[in-house]
Amino acid sequence: MFSGIPPMTSIVLATAVVLALVAIVVANVKTAEKRIERRIPHRHPLADPQFRREMSVMLGPGIAPDNRIDDLQNGREIFPAMLEAIESAHRTITFETYIYWSGDIGARFSSALSERAGAGVEVKVLLDWVGCMKMDPEQIERMRASGVEVRYFRPLRWYNVGRMNNRTHRKLLVVDGRVGFTGGVGIADQWDGDAGDPEHWRDMHFRADGPVVAQFQAAFNDNWIRTTGTVLDGEGYFPALEPAGEMPAQMFIASPAGGSESMRLMYLMAIAAAVESIDMQAAYFVPDAMIIRALLEARRRGVRIRVTVPGPHIDSEAVRLASRAQWGDLLEAGIEIAEYRPTMMHNKLLVVDGELVSVGSTNFDVRSFELNEEASLNVYSRPFAARMTAVFEADLALARPYTLADWRARPLRERIKEAVVRPLRSQL
């Protein structure tokens, strides 16, 4: 095994290597240290001011007033809006994403970022090392040559092999500290167009103007500091922000580095507060036992719950299997599940009682709750919730209801596959 080394020494070395590999695997599949273990009872509906007070305190940043949030549907609206904002930058651009791949869309963003850096704008780009592996290294070098500071989040190094499974899944773009973008879209050609065929995904992104943009910038700063040790401050990053609308909103983050449970806590608090309706679009719907129990308790209170998930077009069959294995109790309780048909649906949307809307990078699964760096935007606005309910229902019209009879009729081979992948659901 180890040429020229005595047999007993070879055995010891081989054993050490195996143990080290096991330790690395265990460290990477380990979830957050801080865990919510008890249910959150229904005490305060969304209309109760106490609900907002507790959301502000428990999730981190307070709810900022006077914002405007605009939804952008599919790449046809998303990419032009983001590129226009980048091209308008005068002082700073901060950009963090999980997926940035080579292709037409990637080239357009690289060109826009490089042009602004060449014009003297401070451009900071933070890419997840795993999610951006499909990006051409020459594209990175061209951006760097133009003055863009590009950093990778947790590249493979000996000192962080135990954290390789903890990736940044955040999607944040902030221009001049005044305009913010977040949502589910990656910088890749599959998000381009208008979700008109299986090759182009259905997704949403959101533009924010107003005081909440400072929280977007702080969210970017969180991982920039962790990666570079440098704090981004000053008026170019945190200018005084004037009221831009009438929507209260908060941007909050989750990170396994702090044992944070803020994402799971947000969902549990929102579900526990619901008295009328919960509408959810979930690209990856793999809830844990506590979330399932919270949904079932909401149904027992009479809350109508509708969930839209991907249908025949999905980028992970393992996710579909792990998800569907858990649908029995939900369907039996009257929770409505529908599968989106035209293409892969990558939306992340939660609308509760026609008042709270939560969007961002967070998927409805254990990986987002405990392993990934995530960022979500909560908007407390009935007009905005009505708008997003209309979007939800337009997508629902293109989905096929999945019934309890469908679930019970699953073939044996599918059930066997579910049993195989279900123990791995925290890693999907």
The catalytic residues are: 169, 171, 176, 346, 348, 353
Q: How far apart are CA 405 and CA 415, in angstroms?
A: 15
Q: Strand 247-254 to strand 374-380: parallel, antiparallel, or no bridges (unpaired)?
A: antiparallel
User: Given the DSSP bridges, would you call strands 122-128 and 92-97 parallel, antiparallel or unpaired?
Assistant: parallel
The sign one gets for the Cα dihedral 181, 169, 92, 190 is: negative
Torsion of CA 342, 365, 369, 336, to 10 degrees: 80
CB neighbour list of residue 366: distance below 8 Å, 6 or more residues apart: 31, 286, 288, 425, 426
Residue 102 neighbours by CB under 8 Å, 6+ apart:
134, 135, 136, 139
Cα–Cα nearest to 332, from 305, 309, 353:
305
| CA atoms in the 13 A half-sphere facing the CB of 289 | 6
Which among 74, 79, 87 has a CA at the least distance from the CA of 114?
A: 87
Q: Give the integer Cα–Cα distance in Å for 208 and 213.
A: 6
325 neighbors 354 (Cβ within 8 angstroms): no
The total of other beta-carbon atoms located within 10 Å of residue 402's CB is: 18
Per DSSP, the three-state class of 45 is coil
The answer to whether the beta carbons of residues 266 and 55 sit under 8 Å apart is yes
Contact 142, 110 (CB under 8 A): yes
On whether the CB atoms of residues 171 and 97 are closer than 8 A, the answer is: yes
Query: Could you give the CA distance from residue 220 to residue 305 in angstroms, rounded to a whole number?
Result: 33
